[in-house]
Amino acid sequence: MQSSSSFFSILWICLATYSMVQGFVLSAIFLTYKGGHKQSKYVLSILSLCCAIVLSSELFERTIGYENYPHLIYAFSWMWYLIPPLVYLYISSFTKGYKISTIDLLHLLPALLIVYMNQSFYWAPASFKLDYLQQLDQGNAHTTHSINFIIFFIQSALYFILSWLALRKNKNKIKSNQASWLTYLIAGLGTITLLGLLSFLVMNGRLNIETSVGVLYMILVSLFLLLLFIKSIHDPKQLYLIGRPPRLQANLVQEKANEVFHALTQFMKTEEPYRDPTYDVQSLVRQFGHSKNYLTLLIRNETGLNFKDYINSYRVEDAKRKLSSPLSKQYTIQSIASDSGFNSLATFYRVFKKVEGTTPKSFIKHN
């Protein structure tokens, strides 16, 4: 049994070490990558760096130990408090035109609060730190340490909820493959939140169980860095490193663009041209008198969608209204699809699944 435990210990330490090195490499890659949006790359770079540093700190504690280096005890623990807001800022950047404002940096304040609360501990003599660590191993958590975990749990839970709401509210603005990637991030953030609560309960004797929460943290962060590395190679567009949304030409006044898009939205709602399966961008050009490039760029800037996906989003919403209606049983799915502007039932199923993440039949059952 001990040999098996030792094997798994070596295994996860190797995993954490590999991921730690990979995190430092990814941080440099994101900073120096020429394509994509700068702010998204900066957030990914800092997030990768934080994960790599917390892994290195945990590995140091669990391999070398702090007995000979007491001043390094929890020296980098405040970086844990950067991970939840960075994940949220990265996810919210997908819904805010890929921009992060100066005000958004206030999300990093909890980490600074932790540094402030623990500064007396960091400057304390080595003997005090070693005594503190021994008491912690015996299950006697210091009040400050307990407060730190409470802050971490509340902060992680808050950003988990905010991230989930941001993704749900702006689902139509995000491509399906990107939405899947962001869902994985939110699930990881939720797991970290639960581990934070578990850590607090175990440290304060509320749960009389033996657990290696620190190991779970390391494995989770290691897997995140591995997934991030795979995504950056397999499909960098999912990370938004490539393919920055094209901007309208500089001579186009933004106020005019807003006016045109508002008129376009009203036209879609009142005239419902999307019901015509043959309706295309040229039909829109004839209606509004603007060039094809102008209208397609305008739609992409305002919604993040190309013209085809933009029209299909209206068709899907129209079909959803019909499928949710008490009168829907009087009609076949084929007739609803046709009436909403889809030229075939197969196309309807494919587009509906892409936008809603479920089939029309499943949608009916849950509504």
Domains belonging to the chain, first-starting first, are: 2-239 (1.20.1070), 254-365 (1.10.10.60)
Q: Which residues of 40-62 are buried (b: 16+ CB within 10 A; e: fewer)?
A: bbebbbbbbbbbbbbbbbbeebb
> CA 203 to CA 161: how far, in whole Å?
25
Per mean pLDDT, which range of 40-54, 63-77, 224-238 is the poorest?
Answer: 63-77
pLDDT at 56: 86
pLDDT at 296: 86
Cα–Cα distances in Å, from 292 out to 239, 260, 283, 300?
29, 13, 10, 12
pLDDT per position as a tens digit, 10-20: 887 888 888 88
pLDDT at 98: 54
> Residue 365 above 50 pLDDT?
yes
> Residue 7 above 80 pLDDT?
no
> Residue 251 above 50 pLDDT?
no
> CA 21 to CA 175: how far, in whole Å?
31
Q: Which residues of 184-203 are buried (b: 16+ CB within 10 A; e: fewer)?
A: ebbebbbbbbebbbbbbbbb
Pick the more confident residue, 199 or 244.
Answer: 199
> Residue 146 above 80 pLDDT?
no
pTM exceeding 0.85: no
Q: Give the pair of three-digit tokens for residue 234.
A: 């397999």
pLDDT at 66: 67
pLDDT at 123: 75
pLDDT bucket at 142, cuts 50 / 70 / 90: low
pLDDT bucket at 245, cuts 50 / 70 / 90: very low
Q: Give the pair of three-digit tokens for residue 66.
A: 């702090």
Largest CA distance in the chain: 80
If we measure between CA atoms, which residue out of 237, 317, 221, 329 comes closest to residue 272? 317
Mean pLDDT calculated for residue range 110-130? 75
Cα–Cα distances in Å, from 47 out to 28, 43, 83, 228, 297?
12, 6, 6, 11, 31
If we measure between CA atoms, which residue out of 318, 307, 305 comes closest to residue 269? 318
What value does the mean pLDDT of the chain take? 77
pLDDT at 79: 80
Mean pLDDT calculated for residue range 90-107? 69
What percent of the chain stands above pLDDT 70?
A: 77
pLDDT per position as a tens digit, 336-360: 888 888 888 888 888 888 888 888 8
Mean pLDDT calculated for residue range 121-127? 74
> Residue 252 above 50 pLDDT?
no
> CA 30 to CA 239: how far, in whole Å?
10
What percent of the chain stands above pLDDT 90?
A: 1
Per mean pLDDT, which range of 47-56, 61-70, 148-157, 163-172 is the poorest?
Answer: 61-70
pLDDT at 213: 64
Per mean pLDDT, which range of 4-18, 47-61, 180-194, 260-274 is the poorest?
Answer: 4-18
pLDDT bucket at 311, cuts 50 / 70 / 90: very high
Per mean pLDDT, which range of 4-13, 189-198, 261-270 is the poorest?
Answer: 4-13
Please say whether the dihedral angle defined by the alpha carbons of residues 73, 75, 80 and 83, taken in this order, is positive or negative: negative
> Residue 249 above 50 pLDDT?
no
> Residue 187 above 50 pLDDT?
yes
